[in-house]
Structures are given as structure tokens and as C-alpha cells.
Structure 1
Amino acid sequence: MSPGRRASRACEEIDSLSEKIPPQKLRIATHMVAEMLAPVRAAFPEVEVVTLPVEGELPPDLEAEILLTLPWGTPNLADALACGVKWVHAYGTGVNGFPFEVLKGVPLSCSRGASATPISEWVIAVLLAAEKQLPQTWLSEPPERWNIADLGTLSGSRLALIGFGAIAQAIARRALPFGMKVRGFRRTGRQSSVPEVEIVTSLEELLCDADHVVVAAPETPATRHMLNDESFALMKPGVHVVNIARGGLIDQAALARALDSGRVGLATLDCVDPEPLPEGHWLYSHPKVRLSAHISWSSPESHSGLMDRFVENLARYHRGEALDYLVDPVEQY
């Protein structure tokens, strides 16, 4: 047999053999409930999903390229990462509680920005509630006077956004049609993606004349307690402070002093430190505090939005493209 025929015969044998060996499946290990990965199975029916316990021993001989896990990690996270994981995705928009030290160079992404729409709607609702004195002006008995009130307006008021990521940008886009004047704070000074928003790089410039201050920055070691006695002193008396980010961004002892002195006229807090807030905490009863249980993200599409970010990145991974929504392990956001 000639060398050319031998080479041809070898190629045919290899082709035949490859048809008999099924392609290796992409395997995802996850700490999430299996039913939550239905969108993944629908988009990638060839992908194998292995459900892991959140603590305790992992399945023997576990191997997986991808790990979908909780944004605060799990007790067995390090063991899961040791099973050949090349990419980790945290099922959440923030990763301030994630144990970065166990990653050891494995890239981490999250579902950053997935809750921008419901959170921005919630912020507009509480800004309107503050200006229109809701629910205080609802009636349960005849008032002393009809047709008279001293209500505020969003039109012409100044909105300060601490942080200018996807959530803050969504807030800005909804605030501008109300006639609000919007500033955003970015340490880098990178240009605004919303042309009508002025970007500043100092808290003093951001806070000095704001009527409403919305905290929308990630919590990192560098941003913890960024609102403190010094930053409250920069605000004009009677300012409305809203937190939809993380409780640790505000020094709550300093907030109490600012509320009692009148520097802060109202604090609307969807995030506090700690969570859950213990019974008897002063934030429950302070007359100038409106408190909710970290629910501003909630909407009918909340969970699908978080999973959509993962599915988008899974498609990129499958095509060999660069991942999106990556977390900087040094900056921790």
C-alpha cells in the first residue's frame, strides 16, 4: 500500500472513531437549586449540570469547568474550585461577602446590573414619596383643612448619585424626565453614558447642594463607611439620603447624629448593617427613618434577570470569547 493510501486510510479510521466517541460535555457545578437552571438547559441542552450541597462533602471524582455559586460563597467553595473549575459566576449583583482569597486566580463574574430596572423604579417611588409626603397625607379622618398642603417637587431638585454603575444610570434615566438635575460620583471621572448627567470626582462637589443623595456604590474595603460624619457635614440641612446598595457604606452611628441634628431630614434605607437588623434597633423606631427589608430589587423578572447574565456569559465562554461582568479581585467589585 502506498504512503498516500495509508494516510487516507488512517484519516478514515480516525473519522470513524471520532463518530463513535461522543464530544466531551461542558459541565457546570452549582450550589443553586436545580430547577433554577432551567434557562441554562433550555439554551444549552448539551451542557451537563451537577448540583452540589452548600456544605459537606462533594460528589466523588467531581470535575467541572464552571461553578455557579452563591454571592457570599459556601463552606465547601474551596473544594469545589479544586475540581478543575476555570470560571466562577456568583448568582447575585454584589459580591461584598464573597471569599476572594479562595479563588487563587480563577476568574469571577456576577450578575451585575441585573436588578437595575426594579431598583431604579423603587428609588423614584421613594423620592416622590418624600416630596409628596406619602403616606403622611393619606386620610383616615376629616382633616383640619382641605385643599392646602406644603408639598415638594422633583422638578428642579438636585439628585446626587454615589457610584455610577448600571443601577445609578437607570436611576438617572428615570429621574431626568421629572426635571431633576443629576450628578454622579465616579472616582475615575470616566465620562457619563447619560449625557445630561454631570460626573464629579469628589464627594464635596457631589454633596454640597444635593436635595436627594442615593447610595449606589459597591461595598468594598475602600468604600465601607464612605458616608460618615465628615461626608454628612458636606450636605445641606434637610437632605434626603437613600441607600439601595449595601448597609456598610453608611456609618449608622454618624447617620443617627446627622438625623438628630437635622442635617439629614429623612433617611430611606433598603440596606442596613447588619442584615437582618436585630429587634429593638434604633432604625426601626426613629421618626426620620423609612426602613425596608432589602427588597428594592424585587420584581416578577428578578430571578430570570440574574440567570440571564450567567447564560449570556456561558454563551461567550462556549464561543471562546472574553467574559463580561467580571469582578476585579483586588478592588472586589
Structure 2
Amino acid sequence: MSRGGTVLVQVRGALAARVAAAVPDVEVVAVPSEGHLPPDVAGEVLLTLPWGSPNLAEALARGVRWVHVLGTGIDAFPVHLLDGRLLTCSRGGSAVPIAEWVLAVMLAFEKRLPDPWIHGVPRERWGRMALGTLHGRTLGLVGLGGIGMAVAERALPFGMRVRACRRTDAPPPLAGIEPVGSVADLVASADHVVIAAPSTPATRHLFDASVFAAMKPGAHLVNVARGALVDQDALQAALDDGRVAMASLDAVEPEPLPEGHWMYDHPRVRLSAHVSWSMPGAADVLIDHFIDNLRRWRAGEPLSGVVDREAGY
């Protein structure tokens, strides 16, 4: 027998309408994310925001059995309120644009962009700038989920050697990826180090002074995960002494950084405002993941993007 006849939705109206149109045999009820819910509203499924909502506890009490977070992670979500309810997220939904952003900053590092662009006729520099290639470089991936895999899939055709460190001992799901047992071993040989692991208590300041000391001199650090994974004081020291040649950061802590923070003006930092996920229709991709899961839920099938409470993601 099918289930999940009523879905409570705490996201903007256009996305709620998309759910209703895609799964017409369920009742989609838009409910506020602040203030009290109407007294007669109830449902088995709740679609909510990545950071939860002020009235989340009240919404959960309306018969909710499954919660889907419209985001790719749950590090900002109040999981403790769920009391054993099923929790999913749109994990991997932003993997493509983030992977492209990673390739873009790695290419920018090797090609020294924007330095080669010229204005006028700089005769002393004509044809005399030494540039690098991705071909032959070693990529070290910390995390091999949707984002890490998307980066690997794009890096391998460039001729990069791809090595990865992940939480499990399972073999990499893509031929050409070399598994590495520890982050310290990974960074020792990597020209480009990409952080794509989830933010959990276990990964906080995963990149500390000891990891930076183990890095290959002159390496390029890329963070598309969360700022909490990097000890930013240790990063500053590694940048200042040249151990890390460049840090391309789409995630920092806190966000936004306060006025006058050293990262804004450091010559070895390329900082973006947590926008690597951005692409046309980004929200549609996330909502489509929920729609697919809703159909599975109705059919009694296993869901994708299920959060492992113990692992924290």
C-alpha cells in the first residue's frame, strides 16, 4: 500500500508547486517556516530547509515520519530534534558545478591566471612566462562522495594522477583512482589537494599544522567542503612560509569572514563567497532528488541520500 499521502513543505512556493505537479497523487501543503502551523495540518513527510526552521519541532509533531533537507549536507541541521525519524538530503545535487569550479581553479593555478593577460605591448614578457599543466600532476582528494567522484571523473581525462582518502576501506568506484590510507600520506605527494569531505565533529580541523607540515612543498589547496575542516591559523602559517603555494577557498569559517580578516588580502589566497554550487536551475536539481525519493517512499522502496546519524552525514 502506498504511503506519504500528505507532504508538508517549508520551501518557497515555486518549488512546492513543482513537487505537486510531479507527484499528483499526494497532497502538498505549504506550511510556514516561522510561527505556528495551522491546527488542522498534518503529514507523514516534511520538506524543509538545510538549517531547519524555528517551528521545526511543531512541524515534526504533526505526524512526520520522514524529513528531507533541501540541501546537500546536514551540518547546520538540528538533527537532535528528529527522535529517530528518517532523514535524507539531496546529497550530490551540486556535484557537477562544484567539480567544474575545482577544475577551473586548478587550471587557473597551473596557467597562472589572470597574470598572462596583457595590456599594451609588454615586449619584455612576450613568450617568456612559464606555465604549468594538469597533465602529469597528482590530485589528492579528501572525500570520495558525489563531489569527489565528479572531480575525479573530470581530472582523469586531463592526464592527472588521482589519489583519494575516504572514510571506508571500500575500493574506489572508478577505475584510475588510487586509494590512500591517511590524509598525511595523501598530501605528501599531491600537487593539488581538494577537500570534499563532510563537516562532522570528527573532521573539524582535519587540516591542522601536522597535515600542512606533511604537504608537498608548493601544493595548491582547494576547499569546497566546509570551513570547519581547516585550521585557518595553521593554514596562514603554511601560506606564509610557502609550504602551501595557493589556497582556493569556497568555504571558510565563519561565513562571511569579518571585516579586516587576513584572508581577504593574502596574496596566496583566492577566496570566493561559497558559490561553487551555483548553476542555472540549481534548486531544481535539489528538488528533483526529493521528488524521486518521494516516489520511492510512496512505493515502499529504499530512499537515496539517507543520512547516517553516527557518521554525521
TM-score range with shorter-chain normalisation? over 0.9
Provide the alpha-carbon RMSD of the alignment: 1.4
Matched, 1:330 2:310: yes
Q: Tell me which of 141, 144, 151 is aligned to 1:164.
A: 144
Aligned partners of 1:188 and 1:201 also within 8 Å: no
Q: Summarize deviations over 1:129-181 as a string: whole Å, max 9, x none.
A: 00000012112333222111111111110000000001100100100111100
Identify unmatched segments of 5+ residues in structure 1.
1-22
Matched, 1:92 2:64: no
Q: Summarize deviations over 1:67-102 as a string: whole Å, max 9, x none.
A: 000111111111111110010000000110111110
Aligned residues: 311
Give the % identical residues: 55
Aligned partners of 2:9 and 2:16 also within 8 Å: no
Q: Tell me which of 174, 195, 220 is aligned to 1:194.
A: 174
Q: Hey, what's the Cα distance between the residues in 2 that align with 1:251 and 1:42? A: 45
Q: Tell me which of 247, 251, 259 is aligned to 2:227.
A: 247
Matched, 1:296 2:276: yes
Q: Secondary structure at the match of 1:131?
A: helix
Q: Hey, what's the Cα distance between the residues in 2 that align with 1:106 and 1:136? A: 53
**Matching residue of 1:148:** 128
Q: Hey, what's the Cα distance between the residues in 2 that align with 1:100 and 1:26? A: 24
Q: Summarize deviations over 1:249-294 as a string: whole Å, max 9, x none.
A: 1111111011001111000001111112222111111000000011
TM-score (ref. length: structure 2): 0.96
Aligned partners of 2:51 and 2:78 also within 8 Å: yes
Q: Summarize deviations over 1:91-140 as a string: whole Å, max 9, x none.
A: 00011011111010001000000111111111111100000000121123
> Once the 2 structures are TM-superposed, how far is the Cα of residue 25 of structure 1 from its aligned partner?
7.8
Q: Tell me which of 301, 305, 311 is aligned to 1:321.
A: 301
**Matching residue of 1:27:** 6
Aligned partners of 1:187 and 1:202 also within 8 Å: no
Aligned partners of 2:6 and 2:45 also within 8 Å: yes
> Once the 2 structures are TM-superposed, how far is the Cα of residue 310 of structure 1 from its aligned partner?
0.2
Q: Hey, what's the Cα distance between the residues in 1 that align with 2:16 and 2:169? A: 38
Matched, 1:217 2:200: no
> Once the 2 structures are TM-superposed, how far is the Cα of residue 24 of structure 1 from its aligned partner?
9.4
- Which has the higher Rg, Structure 1 or Structure 2? 1
Pair 1:267–1:25, CA change in 2 (3 A): closer
Q: Hey, what's the Cα distance between the residues in 2 that align with 1:227 and 1:112? A: 23
Q: Tell me which of 97, 111, 114 is aligned to 1:135.
A: 114
Aligned partners of 1:63 and 1:83 also within 8 Å: yes
Matched, 1:112 2:87: no
Q: Summarize deviations over 1:35-74 as a string: whole Å, max 9, x none.
A: 1123312221132122222222111122111000011111
**Matching residue of 1:76:** 55
Matched, 1:258 2:238: yes
Q: Tell me which of 7, 20, 24 is aligned to 1:41.
A: 20
- Larger RCO of the pair (alpha carbons < 8 Å, separation 6+): 2
Q: Hey, what's the Cα distance between the residues in 2 that align with 1:145 and 1:312? A: 55
Q: Summarize deviations over 1:200-230 as a string: whole Å, max 9, x none.
A: 2211221111100000000001101100101
**Matching residue of 2:36:** 57
**Matching residue of 1:7:** none
Q: Summarize deviations over 1:226-259 as a string: whole Å, max 9, x none.
A: 0010111110111100001111111111110110
Q: Which amino acid aligns with 2:102?
A: V
Q: Which runs of 4+ in 1 moved over 6 A?
A: none
Greater displacement, 121-130 / 270-279: 270-279
Q: Secondary structure at the match of 1:112?
A: coil
**Matching residue of 1:124:** 103
Q: Which amino acid aligns with 1:128?
A: L
Aligned partners of 2:4 and 2:297 also within 8 Å: no
Q: Hey, what's the Cα distance between the residues in 2 that align with 1:72 and 1:262? A: 37
Q: Hey, what's the Cα distance between the residues in 2 that align with 1:185 and 1:37? A: 38
**Matching residue of 1:308:** 288
